[in-house]
Amino acid sequence: MNEQDRAASALMHLDSSCPREEWIKAGMAAKAAGLGFDCFHTWSATADNYAGEGDCRNVWKSFGDSGRVTPATLYAMAFAQGWQDPAKRQQAVNGARVGITHAAPRKAPVTPINTGDYGKAFDMWNRCEPAPANHAYIARKGGLPDGLRIYPHDAPPLVIRGQNVAGWLVLPCRDLAGNLQTVQFIPEHGDKLNLPGASFGNGCHVVGEIGDRVYIVEGIGQAWAVHAATNAAAVVCFGAGRMATVAAAIREQFPAARLVLVPDCGKETQAAEIARAVKGAWCELPADKPANYDANDYAIEHGTDALGDLLGHTKEPPMRFKLLSGAELSNAPPMRWMVRGVLPLEGLAALYGPSGSGKSFLVLDISTAVAGAACDWFGRRVSHCPVTYCALEGEAGMGKRIAAWSLHHNKPVPYGLRFITQAFDLLDGDDVAELGKAIQAAGGAGGLMILDTLNRAAPGADENSSVDMGNIIAAAKRLQSITGGLVLLVHHTGKDETKGLRGHSSLYAALDGAIKVTKTDTRREWSIDKSKEDETGAAHAFKLEVVPLGFDDEGDEITSCIAVPDDSKERVSRVKLPQGGNQLLALKALTEPFSQSRDFNKPGAIPGRPCIELEAAVMAIADSLTCEPKRKNERARKALS
């Protein structure tokens, strides 16, 4: 036997339902012994307090070289729980084969038996006796002794985690074919204990007979209560962490059965996800009850009939396809907005423009308004919600912008606006999961999540590749599904600004909303480029107002800017704004000639404004077009007119 197999044997013997600090120590020792994450996760998943693969992986990644926890720690923990080293047994066998003899051991006094003396759950189960109906736990929970046993007082003492389980109720865990997997020991009061060295596998305990309806619960007390209230099968999954495994096994063997999950209070979201995966339903206990309040508690408090009524009101995941009548469709609730007509309350959106157009200043202004600083933004009504701003282009610049905003408005940025400045990779699944968890922990779920900029959030990705852009979109939508609310991507235009967002066109198609930012020598604007239920094209002028922040060590003034509405520019009314590629190229081509013109007050021109000759304008536009040379003048005149 190699050392890794020996270490795995020791780990699998330990009770994974131990206190968290012991679980962490066992994991550190397992890693020090050369075991991998899969082995650690397989062992951890047998615990009745299993918190999921994500928790296991995060803890595993945190294990470093402590210097104090070594492979010897793992073996010491296993020996303390009665582990018998298979390597030593092999040495003993090999010794016998070559004729090695051993002195007869001295007769020792009887000592308590530990779990290592029973290699299999079957041997343990056979030592137990049928449970009496008046067993204290059964009587207190209003249950039945059917299929349960107790560990007898006259048997050799059995000690698990320092507790003698004599007289405890013994609950078998079997697979759906009836094969015993392990057992659980239940005291009259206190914590349940699992048999070390045995795995739950996909086992469960069934109260009643599985038919067309099956309820899945965590423990035996809940199963007794649910079976009594419904007369249907109630399946014990031995802890919330195993509910998904057991539900999947039942669905596979009984594809036509109606599966109903009955979680303890506080675990409804987990049950809803499992129900969605197995095409089942779930029930919810009253929301005002404390965490871990269960169906048995409800039956004791309100009676069996009341529990039956509650279990009759199930919740089901929405069907993928729903057929609506014309009346239903016309009466559907209106679109919900974060910024009325600009940004939806949920989904994926983008704010984009060329470098230096003021995108980040504008985004900060949106963030403060949504986080609670204002009731409207550029005259558009705002729904307040938490905001998480991933400032990936340097915290120093963002710090100056925040200071400038606070000075200008004479108040701090809203408390609901939080910032993240660490590096983040949207294409790293662990990064997405960790960021989503951090946002939820800070109370930012269901709000606005900003990635500034998309380029920094997806380092190394080829934005022009359909594959890479597809992965970026999928990752952004995954982040949105974790946090809820709206994910806003801050992005750039390409070399040809008339073509919109830089990169593959699939990004624009995936958006639920888009804001376009433009800049000329004399004007900055943001406009609604994409909106599912509002008019696009509406433009709003803004400017960057300089805010002095003080002086540096060398006496130079420190400044930053804030975005504010620009009311100084005369608005163009009842005139159709440039549309289409050639018109936008024409507008861009004329920007420099107008800015350099020294001609004023020419006949036909607007008084006080610079002007250029018509033919000079046509030539400037024609030079910028990419059509056939013989058509350039014609297209230039058409675009200009």
Three-state DSSP state, 517: strand
- How would you class 375 by CB atoms within 10 Å of its CB: exposed for 0-12, middle for 13-18, buried for 19 or more? exposed
Which percentage of the chain shows pLDDT scores above 70?
91
Task: Report whether pLDDT(92) > 50.
Answer: no
Give the count of beta carbons closer than 10 Å to the beta carbon of residue 617: 19
Q: What is the mean pLDDT of the chain?
A: 85
Least confident of 257-261, 416-420, 575-579, 619-623: 575-579
424-426-430-435 Cα dihedral, nearest 10 degrees: 60
Question: Which three-class secondary structure state does DSSP give residue 316?
Answer: coil
Question: Rounded CA gap, 32 and 74, in Å?
Answer: 9
| pLDDT band at 120; cut points 50, 70, 90 | low
Q: Looking at mean pLDDT, say which of 46-60, 76-90, 222-236 comes out highest.
A: 222-236
Residue pair 450/388 in contact by the 8 Å Cβ criterion: yes
What is the pLDDT at residue 106?
36
Report pLDDT for 98: 40
Q: In the structure encoding, which two tokens stand for residue 18, read together?
A: 């131990």
pLDDT in tens, 137-156: 998 898 989 899 999 988 87
Read off the DSSP letter of residue 361.
Answer: H
Per-residue b or e along 185-207, where b marks 16 or more CB atoms closer than 10 Å to that residue's CB = bbeeeeebbbbbbbbbbbbbbbb
pTM (whole model) above 0.75: no
Distances in Å between the Cα of 16 and the Cα atoms of 12, 48, 130, 583 are 8, 8, 27, 69
Least trusted range by pLDDT, from 19-28, 92-101, 369-378, 591-600: 92-101
How far from 54 is each of 23, 45, 102, 382, CA to CA, in Å? 15, 11, 50, 36
Residue 551 DSSP SS3: strand
Residue 103: the pLDDT is 35
Distance CA 267, CA 291 (A): 8
pLDDT in tens, 442-489: 889 899 999 998 999 999 899 999 999 999 999 999 999 998 899 999
Q: Rounded to the nearest 5 degrees, what angle is found at the Cα of 490, between the Cα atoms of 486 and 491? A: 135
**Which of the four pLDDT bands, split at 50, 70 and 90, describes residue 114?**
very low
Least confident of 409-423, 505-519, 575-589, 625-639: 575-589
- Whether pLDDT at 337 is above 80: yes
| pLDDT the model gives residue 568 | 67
Instruction: Check residue 239 and give its pLDDT.
Output: 86
Give the integer Cα–Cα distance in Å for 405 and 407: 6
In 231-332 the beta strands, taken as DSSP E runs, fall at: 233-236, 258-261, 281-282
Separation between Cα atoms, residue 82 and residue 70, nearest integer Å: 19
- What pLDDT, on the 0 to 100 scale, is given for residue 88? 64
Question: Could you tell me the pLDDT band of residue 1, with boundaries at 50, 70 and 90?
Answer: low
- The answer on pLDDT for 242 being more than 70 is yes
- The answer to whether 18 touches 26, Cβ cutoff 8 Å, is yes
For the beta carbon of residue 480, count every other beta carbon within 10 angstroms.
Answer: 18
> Do residues 228 and 304 make contact, with C-beta atoms less than 8 angstroms apart?
yes
